[in-house]
Chain A
Amino acid sequence: MTQPILKARNLVKRYGRVTALDHCDFELMPGEILAVIGDNGAGKSTLIKALSGAVIPDEGTVELDGKPIRFQSPIDAREAGIETVYQTLAMSPALSIADNMFMGRELRKPGWRGQILRQLDRARMEAMAREKLNELGLMTIQNINQAVETLSGGQRQGVAVARAAAFGSKVIILDEPTAALGVKESRRVLELIQDVRSRGIPIILISHNMPHVFEVADRIHVHRLGKRLCVIDPKQHEMSDAVAYMTGAKDPDPALNAA
């Protein structure tokens, strides 16, 4: 049996008297697309943040490739190859698209100008940023040196997704990646997700969009009241089942809990 690439056991996170994660388990298999669905306030975002280093869980363990890890910051997770698109997108509005895409991993010019003067290689970063945006079909962005604050919400999201896809090497986490996107751009993001999987990189997809989830996901992690309720196979379940489970309208078959 294959080992999960990313595995969490017994995660607990409390904010004062609010319990966001209640002994939650999580497994991501190599090369799969795992969707995480759940009601608002179910603790999906906290789960994701615990996996991406943005939140340090109070209890529980996380293993990447079978090795226990304890991220202290998102930088640790990024160095381990976990790239995340947050709902808030985490971009600096006044800086350019290229600056944002390469934030924290800027390219320096070759030779003495990079080594001694530590000069940034703007041309190379801009070319790469342009290329990644074109792959995503974000043709409406006219100027790669535009400040991010001048982009529309959807364009910003596109840039954030392009950034994660360009740099993720182990796991890519997408928190609501299509929420603000247009029809064509959503389609491209779904294609991109499948494209990333075909490169062998597993994806965690958080979404409220059931048609999208059922279209691309290999397995669906249903999150309810701070823990994993069950994991279902989209080929054997209807969308209505998934919605019923996550809202508590219906209890899942106990056999699913073992998954």
Chain B
Amino acid sequence: MSTPQSYEAAAASSPDQVAEFDQGHQSFIQRLQHALHVTPSLVPLIVLILSVVIFGLLLGSKFFSPFALTLILQQVGIVGIVACAQSLVILTAGIDLSVGAIMVLSSVVMGQFTFRYGLPPAIGVTCGLICGTACGFVNGWLVARMKLPPFIVTLGMWQIVLAGNFLYSANETIRSQDIAAEAPLLQFFGEKFKIGGAVFTYGVIFMVLLVVFLAYVLRHTAWGRHVYAVGDDKDAAELSGVNTDKVLISVYMLSGLICAFAGWALIGRIGSVSPTSGQLANIESITAVVIGGISLFGGRGSVLGTFFGALIVGVFTLGLRLLGADAQWTYLLIGALIIAAVAVDQWIRKVSV
């Protein structure tokens, strides 16, 4: 036997079962690390439960009541919806700085179309939703087709949309009483109903349904897998047969549409249509996404994490306010949480299973 390939014959009788190994003893920390790696949204969930428990112990029934807990849900409603949009974009390794501006412009379009042009409220709302989707389309088209960095595109769109919002609305607020009298549909998401001591708004219900819907779509449909693939490695996704431009444009359009819904919910929350509201929505949504464990480099994380991230911010805000602490403590703690969240993200990623 002296043929050049004879060494390969030795491999012929190798076993053909799938390899199995003794997993060995794993410490609790290792198993935790593994579990977190497999289910990234566990981290914010644990933090959320811990913070609810801690504030509950400190404040007792003042905090740990159906009323206070559902108040948190109402307070994070808008940010939660916008953060869902932000999650989608960040999963594709992008960022959307224009979410807040799109939200406000959409709410202004809903209000002005109804009141300035006298359209039926349903048409006004539809126009607002179309407006948000169209802004998202511009973002997506510039990112996908023109290959511009998402940060730059949405930074520009933030200014453009916000300026357009002030120019179009002439900085004019539509008063809450007028809306309630003439177009209550605009305040639909602000309507409350009670179950025992718990108070829910339709906006809160919408947020929860949106999270469930997006979690399903991202996990169980081809489009959802493509969103992750694009965020993970865009070139690889393209080569392995994903129409990456279409995925990106659809993500930004869906983000715009969700922001428009957030704009509708915003009218319900504050009662009036104000072009100056919601200025912090983009930063707050990015905060929720990061605390929720979605990687800013794309392709990793889940929208459930974002939901928990938004709730964590809500719990801290209300808890500290009830404790009578200076509001700056909230910002300080949230800043620390952001850094901790990214540190945990890096730690989990070290496990390779």
Contacts and interface: CB of A to CB of B under 8 A. Distances in A.
Interface string B212-223: 000010001111
A92 B8 contact: no
Given A93-B233, A104-B240, A105-B241, A99 B225 contact: yes
A75 interface: yes
Contacts of B232: 92-95
A2 interface: no
A100 interface: yes
Contacts of B237: 90, 92, 103
Interface in B225-241: 225-226, 228-229, 232-233, 235-241
B4 interface: yes
A183 interface: yes
Contacts of A104: 226, 240-242
A139 B240 contact: no
B15 A103 contact: no
A94 B299 contact: yes
A28 interface: no
State the main secondary structure of chain A at its contact with B.
loop
State the main secondary structure of chain B at its contact with A.
loop
A39 interface: no
Interface stretch (B16-24, B200-208, B311-319): B16-24
Interface in B1-45: 4-5, 7-8, 11, 14-21
A234 interface: no
A92 B228 contact: yes
Contacts of B21: 142
A149 interface: yes
For the complex of A and B, the 10 pairs showing the least CB-CB separation, nearest first, are A104-B241, A90-B239, A184-B11, A106-B222, A92-B232, A92-B229, A90-B236, A150-B352, A103-B240, A90-B240
Given A88-B239, A93-B233, A150-B352, 14 more contacts: A73-B243, A86-B239, A90-B240, A91-B236, A92-B229, A92-B240, A92-B299, A93-B299, A99-B229, A103-B226, A117-B221, A134-B16, A149-B352, A163-B240
